[in-house]
Amino acid sequence: MTKVIELNVKSNYIAEYKKGYPLINKDTIMNTNALKEEGSIVHLIDENRQFITKGYYGKQNKGLGWVLTHNKTEAIDFAFFKSRLEVALNARQSFYKNTETTAFRVFNGEGDGIGGFTIDYFDGYYLINWYSAGIYSFKDHVISAIDELCDYKAIYEKKRFDTKGQYIDDDDFVKGTRGEFPIIVKENGMNYAVYLNDGAMVGIFLDQRKVRKAIRDEYSKGKNVLNTFSYTGAFSVAAAHGGAMKTTNVDLAKRSKSKTIEQFSVNSIDYEQQDIKVMDVFEYFKYAKRKELKFDVVVLDPPSFARSKKHTFSTAKDYPALIKDTIAITEKNGVIVASTNNASFGMRKFKGFVDKAFKEMNTNYKILEEFSLPSDFKTNPIFPQGNYLKVLIVEKR
């Protein structure tokens, strides 16, 4: 058996770990130099060398790993991974039964008791996202647990842990029968084309399910919709299903155009009635102003960081300016769907961004609805950063 590494917790953080804080944060540990090999089991101990909790070493952003159990004698073995997956699967039974939605999250990292990896379900296929070399060292246990507990067509994986914490682009197939992509998954009766073997992103972000439904059911009928940072146009598909007059999709990535055409097509929506622009959003704002274009609904869902030829965008810094640009091209009584997945700030600060933007534009507004992660993206109440998604539906008054 490999030797357990003891990590000395700084005294003012002991109480947090005892309460169940799951992330082993660099700043809370005195002897980080004891850590050598990712995947090692670590015991967090206090100044009297008393056991607090145990976890594994795996580098992920500022984290050095995740807490696994408070039970000193519980082994981190196949049975451990299987038990946690079993609980997670039971919590998703209603999702498996729902034939209108065939894509959802099965295991959400620390929200389901083991930080560092997630498992998504796409109509019979399982996709594992690994966020550190440390958790990846337990791969065999996780695969065996899926083998014992799930029926599947195939398992795929994304390794998101190169030296910069980015996606490692190699064959994502793990086992089963290779799929023919795209597969078409359903979400609340809508179709989405999904690719599990083509880069870091699969074509749809499952965490926005409730927002797509709201856009379809409450905000689109007869409306002129602008979808910025549109990627494959998933929000626009929802808007078109909801009876939008037209959608305009703006994304910088060249392949977003064919991907958006495909999403419309698998829904039998005529893409030629839609506008699909490969363009920098910030250029589009200027263009729209010049042409005096205005929209009834504008969706804003930028990445946390983005770099284009002319702009570097960081949500934490530039979101208010982005909302101001949006307000300028939104009709009175129009609606802005403002979204961010930046975990470094919470809903209160995000509302502050919206407030700042409207004040600086001398415009009134009303927040109509707010969204966070859906229930399959289970979070741990003691780790609010894990609840990263923030979406505000705001009416311009």
Q: Which residues are at the interface with ligand SAH (CB under 6 A)?
A: 205, 208, 229-232, 234-235, 250-253, 256, 280-282, 301, 303, 306, 308, 311
At 211, the amino acid letter reads V
Which one, 11 or 258, has the nearer CB to ligand SAH? 258
Which one, 68 or 226, has the nearer CB to ligand SAH? 226
Which one, 58 or 233, has the nearer CB to ligand SAH? 233
Tell me the closest approach of the beta carbon of residue 217 to ligand SAH, in angstroms: 17
Q: How far is it, in rounded angstroms, from Cα 302 to Cα 387?
A: 17
At 383, the amino acid letter reads F
Tell me the closest approach of the beta carbon of residue 371 to ligand SAH, in angstroms: 13
Can you list the positions of beta strands (E) in 311-379? 312-314, 330-340, 365-371
Which one, 7 or 281, has the nearer CB to ligand SAH? 281
Tell me the closest approach of the beta carbon of residue 383 to ligand SAH, in angstroms: 24
Q: Are strands 183-187 and 41-45 parallel, antiparallel or unpaired?
A: unpaired
Which one, 168 or 253, has the nearer CB to ligand SAH? 253
Q: How far is it, in rounded angstroms, from Cα 119 to Cα 121?
A: 7
Nearest to 392 by CA among 322, 332, 328: 322
Q: Which two tokens stand for residue 181?
A: 């992509």
Those residues whose C-beta lies under 8 Å from the C-beta of residue 283, and which sit 6 or more positions away, are: 310
| C-alpha distances in Å from residue 110, one per residue of 37, 116, 123, 164 | 21, 7, 24, 21
**54 strand-pairing partners:** 43, 69
Which one, 121 or 192, has the nearer CB to ligand SAH? 192
Q: How far is it, in rounded angstroms, from Cα 246 to Cα 230?
A: 14
Which one, 9 or 389, has the nearer CB to ligand SAH? 389
Tell me the closest approach of the beta carbon of residue 282 to ligand SAH, in angstroms: 6
Which one, 40 or 228, has the nearer CB to ligand SAH? 228
Tell me the closest approach of the beta carbon of residue 301 to ligand SAH, in angstroms: 3
Q: How far is it, in rounded angstroms, from Cα 345 to Cα 8?
A: 28
Which one, 53 or 236, has the nearer CB to ligand SAH? 236
Tell me the closest approach of the beta carbon of residue 277 to ligand SAH, in angstroms: 9
Tell me the closest approach of the beta carbon of residue 11 to ligand SAH, in angstroms: 42
Q: How far is it, in rounded angstroms, from Cα 200 to Cα 117?
A: 14
At 87, the amino acid letter reads V
Give me the numbers of helices (H) and strands (E) for the chain, helices first please. 11, 21
Task: Give the H or E element holding residue 263.
Answer: helix 255-265
Tell me the closest approach of the beta carbon of residue 162 to ligand SAH, in angstroms: 19
| C-alpha distances in Å from residue 293, one per residue of 122, 271, 285, 325 | 38, 20, 9, 12
Tell me the closest approach of the beta carbon of residue 231 to ligand SAH, in angstroms: 4
At 67, the amino acid letter reads V
